[in-house]
Amino acid sequence: MTIDPRIQAVAARQPHPLLFATISGAHLYGFPSPDSDYDLRGVHILPLRQVVGLDPGPETIEVSDVLDGLELDLVTHDVRKFFGLLLKKNGYVLEQLTSPLVVVTSAEHAELLSLVPQLVTRHHSHHYLGFAETQWGLFAKEQPRRVKPLLYVYRVLLSGIHLMRSGQVEANLVNLNEQFRLPYLPELIVRKLAGPEHGALDDADLAFHRAEYERLRALLEAAQQTTSLPETSTARPALDDLLFRLRLGAGGKMTT
């Protein structure tokens, strides 16, 4: 995917240096509608004064913009907050970090990527189970029922199973289905890609998809029980060292 120059322009004018910025959301997951906005996620580095001084800088920066018809939602976290989220078994931030749709990168981004094997644990399964349950609830109570939340259900369940089995982060549903080969997914994706007017499902489909949701959920729970992934992350010392170096690089050496 070629990154739109308008997205790069938004990233370039952020007030603090970016460790990285990537595209998340439907574009990463492989099923953007024609009207899908771009979800840009990343990490900014506050200067030392805004970390240790009396006037702290923003831990999170959010920007929503429309540029020549392109809708964009940008969220960045300060590096310390982001590292903390990585250590909380948060699959969402792992997917942001490993997204192949890269808008801004750096040597430290590459260093972070090298730590992913030390960050992934068996307990990341809880993130995917919880997210799937939330999305299933949204889908089941809607009238009419939309394809979008249903695709999110399948996406997170397959991502979670794949992670437990392989230790690899994969957020793209099209790529995932090359492994799982669920015959109904291509049609659902086509309907989502076609736009909202094609994105509703009949009530008769509910029982089938409920059974599939429960089957895949059970597969994820079983994968969590049998995975060779560790109980805890071993990346904390490396993250602490990287954070220290980033702070010094952003604010200069501390003096007494």
Q: What is the 3-state secondary structure of 134-202?
A: HHHHHHHHCCCEEHHHHHHHHHHHHHHHHHHHHCCCCCCHHHHHHHHCCCCHHHHHHHHHHCHHHCEEC
- pLDDT computed for residue 85 by the predictor: 96
What's domain 5-115+233-251's superfamily in CATH? Beta Polymerase, domain 2 (3.30.460.10)
- pLDDT computed for residue 196 by the predictor: 66
Helix or strand holding residue 77 (H, E): strand 70-78
- pLDDT over 70 at 124, yes or no: yes
Residue 103: CA count within 13 A, CB half-sphere: 28
Domain boundary assignment for the chain:
5-115+233-251, 124-226
C-beta separation of 23 from 100 below 8 A: no
C-beta separation of 120 from 232 below 8 A: no
C-beta separation of 169 from 98 below 8 A: yes
Per-residue pLDDT of 32-54, as tens digits, reads: 987 789 999 999 999 999 998 98
- pLDDT computed for residue 252 by the predictor: 37
Identify the three-state secondary structure at position 243.
helix
Question: How far is C-alpha 181 from the geometric centre of its chain's CA atoms?
Answer: 23
d(CA 156, CA 95): 11
Weakest mean pLDDT among 4-8, 85-89, 158-162, 165-169 = 4-8
